[in-house]
Amino acid sequence: MLSLPPSVRIFVARGATDMRKSFDTLAALVIEVVDEDPLSGHLFLFINRRRNRAKILWWDRSGYCLLAKRLEQSQFRVFDQARGMDGAFEVAASDLALILEGIDLRGARRKPAYYDPNFPNKPRIRDRIEQSTPMR
């Protein structure tokens, strides 16, 4: 499981990327396609046309790091919005971990967190306290 600080954003480049590209050419793609600064410390995910190889580029304050993964019997299941367009879209760290495992997220739904004040089934703590204390 990846543990990234909340300040790190993860961008997935739309379309296919040539996996022969290395540090400098992927950094140039970040500027041209993703329209972000490659030295920002964010993660940039690139996937090839066959969707069985992926590379992640990030800057760690002393140089570029490049993580590569190849799936042997499956494909990276990136959302439909990733196909056939330019630019990029952003995903959460938990979604990136699932993408790298080859899990299809197209039909997945995120459940609301318990602490969400709009969570319909659980009353907020303030409401429970007000209900339990008798009025004088």
Per-residue pLDDT of the chain (136 residues; tens, 9 = 90+): 567 888 899 999 988 999 999 999 999 999 998 889 999 999 999 999 999 999 999 999 899 999 999 999 888 887 655 455 678 888 888 888 888 888 877 777 766 655 555 555 555 555 555 555 555 5
Q: Give the residue among 118, 119, 99 at the shortest CA–CA distance from 108.
A: 99
How far, in Å, CA of 53 to CA of 71, rounded?
6
In this prediction, residue 21 carries a pLDDT of: 94
Domain spans of the chain, in order of start: 10-132
Task: Give the separation between CA 23 and CA 64, rounded to whole angstroms.
Answer: 7
d(CA 12, CA 54) in angstroms, rounded, equals 10
| Cα torsion 76, 78, 29, 59: sign | negative
> Which secondary structure element, helix H or strand E, spans residue 126, and what is its range?
helix 125-132
Distance of CA 95 to the CA centre of its chain: 5
